[in-house]
A and B are shown apart, each in its own frame.
Chain A
Amino acid sequence: MSHLIDYKNLVVTLSGKLILNIDSLSIPNHQCTLITGKNGSGKTTLFKVMSGLLKPDSASIHYQGLDMNWKQAKPYIQKDIIYLHQQPYLFDASVTYNIAYGLYRAGESKTAAHNKVMQALDWANLSHLAHRNAKQLSGGEKQRVALTRARILSPRLLLLDEPTASMDTDAKQQTSLLLQRLKEEGITIMISSHETHTVEHIADRHLHIDQGRITSLDHSHSEKVTVLNTSKYNN
């Protein structure tokens, strides 16, 4: 099974308290990993370390054939991994501006960026909101804008922190539809949740985190991983 990235000996202490202590965590390519855990179990902290936003006490990272410590890996993982907050933050500007934000880094031409944004808006069914101020959107709409804003950058790994928390059934459905499509596009996804049911059907693999340790691997799901692996991504 090919891994996109491997983290080893990942330790985080905050204010003298041990928050994360993970021996080994491997993210399989093109799959959706679900990680569940109680409030305060360390999901957000883990995602922030994985995406290069938070410096761990120690970590060794294997990525693109290289063995690196967190500091060496930081430029790569910040570039290729996008973290989406539990409550996404949208900039105080139009929806279009928000979605185009990351495109400027690539030095993309104005027209190319514009076309991409239009397509992306269409993809997420957000065209009618294009010129609205992003701060005024509902929680569900914000989440969809945030997903679109991340997808347009073609990340290699998307870390979604409780993407459907505090959403009504409708919004949950729309969001999980987008997640499904992201997965079909081949983007590797990791989703955190303290409840399993809403995103369960998308997940190929189920991890559990408890007090900063990844404790269990759901067996039915790991079998599904194997099946998927041989049928779809056999290499």
Chain B
Amino acid sequence: MNDISQASASAFQLLISGNNDIWEIISLSFGVSFSAILIATPVALVIAFLLAFFQFPFRRALIALFNTFMSVPAVVIGLSLYLLLSRSGPLGDLRLLFTDKAMIIGQIMLSFPLLVAMAHASFQAADRRAWETAITLGATPARAFFTLMYEVRFGLIAAVVAGFGRVIAEIGCSMMVGGNILHSTRNIPTAIALETSKGEFAQGIALGMVLLVLSLSLNAGVSLFQGKGELQA
């Protein structure tokens, strides 16, 4: 009991004192996850929109596929990416394994199905008249798409926030393809796992607190935006 409260106290100390290592880990975590979401989101939105608004072959199969991929464990995605990127793998020449780029790729793969599925649900629930109105008033399809995104913005923001929440806290994939290298690929979840297994609780608790606060706010954000969307309807 005493140990834990002492560790918690030093955890606070670490955060407040601006301990270099800890803030480096935090910023790497955010950098990687932001990049992944930033890259994945535009593509996911376009795909979600096409799936919701147009008829084409294998549309239903694709929707089912994205829904299925949502529940693939992070460590399995990490493993697949590891095999692809390892020296002897098909993409080994890119020398990406154990870099932050590999972590970004992993997190893109991880967040993409979730982004598509949630954005698809938003577009699906959107009013078809919004699209038709934009078109009949002379909007180009591109502009009509942006208009439609604005109309369902709360659902889309919820999707992005949920996607970010999934990748910022995941450990399996980052561990496999990042390798938890200090100053280069160590992020919050891998650091927590490593430091704790070494018996150094303070850093683990400090990072855990950051993650906890973040998760709580993200979850609150998701429900807030989803609630807003419902009120609008």
Chain A interface (Cβ within 8 Å of chain B)? 48, 51-53, 78-79, 81-83, 85, 87-89, 91-92, 101-102, 104-106, 135, 149-150, 153
Q: Are A102 and B135 in contact (CB under 8 A)?
A: no
Contact with A along B133-144 (1 / 0, CB 8 A): 111111110010
A136 nearest CB across to chain B (Å): 11
User: CB within 8 A of A89: which of B133, B138, B143?
Assistant: B133
Q: Are B138 and A153 in contact (CB under 8 A)?
A: yes
Interface size bucket, B side?
10 to 19
Residues in chain B near residue A53, CB distance under 8 A: 132, 135-136
Residues in chain B near residue A89, CB distance under 8 A: 127, 129-130, 132-133
CA distance A105 to B142 in the complex (A): 12
Residues in chain B near residue A81, CB distance under 8 A: 136
Residues in chain A near residue B137, CB distance under 8 A: 82, 101-102, 105, 149-150, 153
Q: Are B138 and A85 in contact (CB under 8 A)?
A: no
Chain B interface (Cβ within 8 Å of chain A)? 127, 129-130, 132-140, 143, 147, 150-151, 232
Q: Are B136 and A92 in contact (CB under 8 A)?
A: no
Q: Are A83 and B232 in contact (CB under 8 A)?
A: no
User: CB within 8 A of B138: which of A87, A88, A105, A135?
Assistant: A105
- Known contacts: A85-B129, A92-B232. The answer to whether A102 contacts B138 by CB under 8 A is yes
User: CB within 8 A of B151: which of A91, A102, A149?
Assistant: A91
Q: Are A85 and B135 in contact (CB under 8 A)?
A: no
User: Which residue from chain A places its CB closest to the CB of B136 in the assembled complex?
Assistant: A83
Interface hub of B127, B133, B140 (most chain A Cβ within 10 A):
B133
CA distance A105 to B140 in the complex (A): 8
Residues in chain B near residue A48, CB distance under 8 A: 132
CA distance A79 to B138 in the complex (A): 6
A190 nearest CB across to chain B (Å): 14
Residues in chain B near residue A82, CB distance under 8 A: 136-137
User: Which residue from chain A places its CB closest to the CB of B134 in the assembled complex?
Assistant: A101
B129 nearest CB across to chain A (Å): 4
B123 nearest CB across to chain A (Å): 15
Residues in chain B near residue A106, CB distance under 8 A: 138
Interface hub of A79, A102, A106 (most chain B Cβ within 10 A):
A102
